[in-house]
Structure 1
Amino acid sequence: MTAVRSTFLRFVIGADAAACGLMGAAFAFDAGFLAQPLGLSLAFMQPVGLFLLVYAAGLVVMALRPTLPRPAVWALVAFNALWAIESIAIMALGWVQPTQLGVAFVAVQAVSALIVGDLQYLVLRRAKKRQAAVA
C-alpha cells in the first residue's frame, strides 16, 4: 500500500471539508429556515446536516495529514460518486419533493461532489504515474 503525498489533494479535501461543514451546519441548525424555500423536510435535512458535520470533521483530519493511504483516497472518490448518485436518485424516486430552488440546490451539490471526486481521482492517477516512473 502506497501513500499519496499531494498538497493539491490536501487542498481539495480541505475545500470539501469546508463545503460539507457549511452545508452540514445549515441543514442541522437552520433547517427550519431552509425547509420551505428548498422544499425539503426537517426530518430529512437535520440528520443529513449532522452526518455532514461529522464527515467534514473527518475530512479536516485527512487534509491535515502530509500523506494519505491510497485506499482512503479511493474511499473518498467512491463516496463522492455515491453521494452524487443518491442525490439525484432521491429526487427521481420521489423520496423528496423539492421546490425548483431545491432541485437546483441538490443538482449543484451533486455536480460539486462529482467534481471533487474527479479531482481526487486525477491526483491518484498522477501519483500512480509518478510512482511508476520512479520504479
Structure 2
Amino acid sequence: MTTATTPSRLSALFASGENLLRLSLRLDAVVTTANGLAYLALAQPLERLLGLDATVGLAIGAFLTAYGIGVALVGRPARTNRAAASAVAIGNTAWVVASLAALVTGALGLTTVGAVWAVMQSATVGGFAALQFLGLRRSR
C-alpha cells in the first residue's frame, strides 16, 4: 500500500507549481546555509583541499550563509512571493555562471578536487534554479 501512495504523493508534489517552488526554495535554503557554515567553519582545511584561499572561503561562507537565510525567508510563507522567488532563481543562475567562469579562467586557483567540487556545486545550484523556474512557471 505504501508503494501505491508514494508515486501519487510525488506526482502531487511536482504537479503543483506552488508546492514545487516552495520545496525547491526550502531545500535550497538548507543546502546553501549548511554549505556557507561549512565554508566558515572549515576555511583552513578547505584551503588545502580545494585550493581556495581561506579569506575567499570565509567571504563565500558569509555570503552563502546570508543568502541561505534569505532563501529560507522567501520559501517560508504558504504563498510564495513570485518576485522574490524569481530573484532567488536568477541569483542561483548567476552563481552557476560565475562559478563556472571562475573555474574556466582559473581565477580561484582551485586544485583538481576544488574543480570537481565547483562543478558539483554548480550542478546542484543549477538544479535548484531549474526547479524554481519550473515551479514559477507552473504556479502562474
- Cα distance in 1 for residues equivalent to 2:121 and 2:106: 18
- Cα distance in 2 for residues equivalent to 1:119 and 1:8: 7
Counterpart of 2:97?
85
Which of 94, 98, 101 is 2:113 aligned to? 101
**Structure 2 residue 59 is the aligned partner of structure 1 residue 53:** no
Counterpart of 1:132?
none
State the Cα deviation string for residues 66-88 of structure 1 (Å, max 9, x = none). 11222112111111110000001
Which of 114, 117, 123 is 2:129 aligned to? 117
**Displacement after TM superposition at 1:27 (Å):** 0.7
Counterpart of 2:139?
127
**Structure 2 residue 56 is the aligned partner of structure 1 residue 44:** yes
Counterpart of 2:30?
18
Q: How large is the RMSD of aligned CA atoms in angstroms? A: 1.3
**What TM-score do you get using the length of structure 1 for normalisation?**
0.86
Counterpart of 2:79?
67
The count of corresponding residues between Structure 1 and Structure 2 is 124
Moved over 4 A (4+): none
**Displacement after TM superposition at 1:8 (Å):** 2.4
State the Cα deviation string for residues 80-125 of structure 1 (Å, max 9, x = none). 1100000011122221111111001001111111111110111111
Structure 1 residue runs of 5 or longer lacking an equivalent are 129-135
Equivalent residue letter for 2:109: Q
Equivalent residue letter for 1:66: A
- Cα distance in 1 for residues equivalent to 2:26 and 2:130: 15
Equivalent residue letter for 2:59: P
Percent identity (aligned): 27
